[in-house]
Amino acid sequence: MITAKFRDSARRFGWRRAVGQYGHKILARVARLKFLHVLWLDRPHLAVASAEQAAGIEVRLLGGDELSRYAQDADLDMRQDFITQALAGGSACLGAFVDGALAGYVWFGRRDMELYLGSTVAVGNDAAYAYKGLTLPMFRKRHCLAVILRYALKLPVLPGTTRLVSLVEAANLVSLTACARIGFQRDGTLCLLGRGSRQRWFYIGGGKQVERPRIAAVAEAHR
């Protein structure tokens, strides 16, 4: 039986990508096998939002007190324990504001402060790892993500940063499509099998354009 979600994915992304998406979801659920594409972006590849699209959007770093206030808004998906751990680890959060309201944000760090499937992720010294982002639905046509990433590369958001690296699940067609529009390039695929201390990982291709993200297992799986 074809579900409504499958039909919607097929309409938006094509039947081939929709079938692949559901295949990845089945593997993740049954075999605990996930595929994450390694994506990278530098200034020459950034598809910058037009001046008209960027007009009225202010981008700035968010401080600890401000982030703590946003943690109280469930729609923004930022827990206080995550914020505390991320800031302590040297990560930074850039927010995009429209008419004074937070429209979206992206976290950047040298490593993933929120454990992913029981492992941490670290990137090379020339890169910032873009590992958690969100745009509120009412602002999705404002291209906030592209404006934030442009700002992150221009600053740079972390000392010595010349590029951004991100990991996106192969089943997440919405994020993959958005990243491609912004200018992210793919450099291999990371495969994760299992969870927690029993997790194993390997790469399919990659390592040509950016240093492969380093994976380290931890004792407790991410919940």
CA angle, 167 then 72 then 139, to 5° = 55
Letter for the amino acid at 56? Answer: G
Return d(Cα 93, Cα 87) in angstroms, integer: 9
Confidence at residue 136, expressed as pLDDT on a 0 to 100 scale: 95
- The predicted-structure confidence for 53-99, as pLDDT tens digits, reads as follows 677 899 999 999 999 999 999 999 999 998 998 898 889 999 999 99
Residues of the chain with pLDDT under 50: 1, 219-223
Domains and CATH numbers, the chain: 1-31 (no CATH), 32-217 (3.40.630.30)
- Given this model, what pLDDT does residue 185 score? 93
The label of the residue with tokens 């990137």 reads: 123
**pLDDT at residue 161 in the model:** 86
Residue 6 is predicted with a pLDDT of 66
Q: Which 3 state secondary structure label does DSSP give 20?
A: helix
Give residue 76's pLDDT.
Answer: 96
